[in-house]
Amino acid sequence: MPFQEIKLYQAGTFVAGNRLLDPEQRSVQARTGRSNSLTSGHRACQGCGEALGARYVLDAAMRATDGKLVAVNSTGCLEVFSTPYPESSWQLPWLHSLFGNGPAVASGVAAALRATGRDDSRVVGQAGDGGTVDIGFGALSGMFERNDDVLFVCYDNEGYMNTGVQRSGATPPGAATATTKALGPEPGNVFGQGKFVPLIAMAHEIPYVATATVAELRDLEYKVEKAMSFHGARYLHVFVPCPLGWRAAAADTIKLARLAKESGVFPVFEAEHGEVTEVSRIRRQVPVEEYLRPQGRYAHLFGDPGRPDVVARIQARADRNIARFGLLGEGDE
């Protein structure tokens, strides 16, 4: 991330206050002209990572497109907490159709904007992990494969939160959800093969794929602005803790997002045309346990006797991410 060199005065946090930065380096959120696309008054839970992520993503996209933006939203928490009529929180043109069709609806919007000579306007599609990696996956892959001019953003809270925290294809192994409770000999979600859609998006060799977390919001804004500098299909996968579904403290949303990255559980990187171009390196590696412990969905792993074997397997998956993406490599950060 080509940001200004700054000195960090605060120990233990890696966030630089805006006042330390040159004006042009300040975040979109810090600017008076920010669009407030998802404005206050919505019904998200306290500490909702998805609400935070969506606000940053859309305001950054609005800035990048000079306010010429249309948003398409799949069914899920984001759609529900931002409405109902007439109390819409959306201050940009916004369309919700169904749970599984967001990417295709967004393709239709992009086609219409082109066909009606309004291609100065751009489209962002957005959905939760369920709407992206499960039920909307065919439509997403089709949109990628056709290289339609859509930025699709997945807010990954690792489960079907809107319907009461059931397991999705993005729920990590070991995590307890309403359909993978801590019951029986193998409590929590199974160790499947995993379904990391950013890699699948890269396999489509689309112009731009990136992951981000709500712990590094300037990085998130930067990636949105970068995504909007490309035409064609783009994919942004944002890691957004859900205090309700993860049974974590509302105040820990940012901390958990940071620990997910610092433990290697969630790799943060950028890719262009199928090749990784940038990796956000781990600054101070932590064991996965530090990330897992504060979350009630993993409580069964730490009881008495606990499941150190499961924790070890989760650690092994993080280690694999670290090796695969070079998350500990010699870096300038």
Ligand X SMILES: Cc1ncc(C[n+]2csc(CCOP(=O)(O)OP(=O)(O)O)c2C)c(N)n1
Give me the 153-172 binding string for ligand X, x by CB under 6 A, dash otherwise.
--x-x-xxxxx----x----
Among positions 106, 151, 182, 217, the unique one binding another protein when judged by CB under 8 A? 106
Tokens of 134: 């499960």
State how far the Cα of 259 lies from the Cα of 294, in Å rounded to an integer.
Answer: 11
Size of the site for Mg ion (CB under 5 A): 4
State how far the Cα of 102 lies from the Cα of 73, in Å rounded to an integer.
Answer: 6
- Cβ nearer to ligand SF4, comparing 16 with 299: 299
Among positions 128, 169, 188, 243, the unique one binding Mg ion when judged by CB under 5 A? 128
Among positions 73, 75, 126, 263, the unique one binding ligand X when judged by CB under 6 A? 75
50 scored as a contact of ligand SF4 (CB under 6 A): yes
Segment lying near another protein (by CB under 8 A), choices 136-144, 186-194, 243-251, 264-272: 136-144
Q: Nearest-CB residue to Mg ion?
A: 128
Tokens of 97: 């159709």
DSSP string, 123-187: EEEEEEHIIIIITTHHHHHHHHHHT-S-EEEEEE-SSBTTTTSB--TTPPTT--BTTB-S-SSS-
Enumerate residues 6+ apart whose C-beta is below 8 A from 100. Answer: 74, 131, 135, 136, 139
Could you report how far apart the first and last alpha carbons of the chain are, in Å?
A: 10
79 scored as a contact of another protein (CB under 8 A): yes
Residue 243 binds: one of ligand SF4, Mg ion, ligand X, none (C-beta under 5 to 8 A by kind): ligand SF4
Residues 12-71 that bind another protein (CB under 8 A): 67-70
Binding site for ligand X (CB under 6 A): 50, 75-78, 99-100, 127-131, 155, 157, 159-163, 168
